[in-house]
Structure 1
Amino acid sequence: MARWEGNARGRLEQAALALFEEQGYDRTTVAQIAQRANLTERSFYRWFTDKREVLFGGAQELGEQLVTAIGDVPEGTGALRTLLAAFATAPRVFRPHEFLLRRAAVIAANPPLQERELIKMATVSEEITAALLSRGFDRATARLATDIGLAVLRVTTERWVTEEHTDFAGFGEALTAGAAEVLAVVADGVPSAPAS
């Protein structure tokens, strides 16, 4: 984690997050973020297109990681199992726990940032669906597996962050537990076949 904190991108992310917490997202400027990180505005724009992206830059990395991991799952694995195996690799690109917790609070306090998060996750969703289609799954299966899989990932990640885990060593087990919970809810809503 020290490497992440020491690089320019990590410094900009940390500086922006601190300023968003101190004075609010709307009152924070790119110039202030760069100054807090001891960098120039030009350095900021090498990494981010605008100040929103400081909070969402990891979405692209997450999408790339998941698509790569989907490709690494053995052929013949079902769509949802493929996604769960891929999602277990997500911590490779996660930011440090404290950053994720603070980031969630900043986003929760700002409706436009909540909207931006939904847009970013929609992009990740499309990438995942495309990866499943390329493995030969039909569109309906790929779409449904993606929707269910992302629900599992969201539940697991939210729980993981709020339960103050300091590392991601057991993330795969937490993901399996999250999948069981989501699938139990799905099964509860499925009507029984009528008795003959």
Structure 2
Amino acid sequence: MSDSIVSAEVTPGPAVPPPGRSWGRAILAEAPYLIMLLAGFGGVAYASGAATPNLLYWQILAPVFGALCIAAGWNAAAGRGQRMRLVWTQAAHWAAFLAAMLLMFLPSVRGVVNDNANEIGLLLLLGLGTFVAGVHAGSWRIMAVGAVLGASVPGVAMLQQSAMLITVAGLLVVLVGAGFVYARARM
């Protein structure tokens, strides 16, 4: 018996590029993270311009951040048990950070800490809370938002001294947002 091997030479056709994502879809996909950044910086900016502290803003912001962290980690959590753990971990985490933020508004604390330091402390707490929540949720995007918020604390301290730096900070937020959009569009 002889084995005859028929070999057919396959010539590859033109490579078909993967379908590209539109910038609009990439921006929409990254919108929650961009909103988190804007909400964090917006809260500090609002607090610096307000005559009285606005506890309601932070009381709303912490649960919204918690819900976004749960949404970011939901698909990575395998099964009902892991998802329930994610929900309870995030709920406890953000309740603790909300309590710490609200402590910054106590009259005894405000008597010792001036308003500028209070705003910076709130941003630092929000950045740290967001970063750690991202670690628990397994979301690098949430961790990146927390890192940007936390790393911006020295910049915000300088911003309170200079109007020129306000423009630079705005550009930084836009650049970080563009980085998220670019990363999403490349996936």
Do Structure 1 and Structure 2 share a fold, with TM-score over 0.5?
no
Question: What is the TM-score when the length of structure 2 is the normalising length?
Answer: 0.29
Q: Which has the higher contact order (CA 8 A, sep 6+)?
A: 2
Larger Cα Rg: Structure 1 or Structure 2? Answer: 2
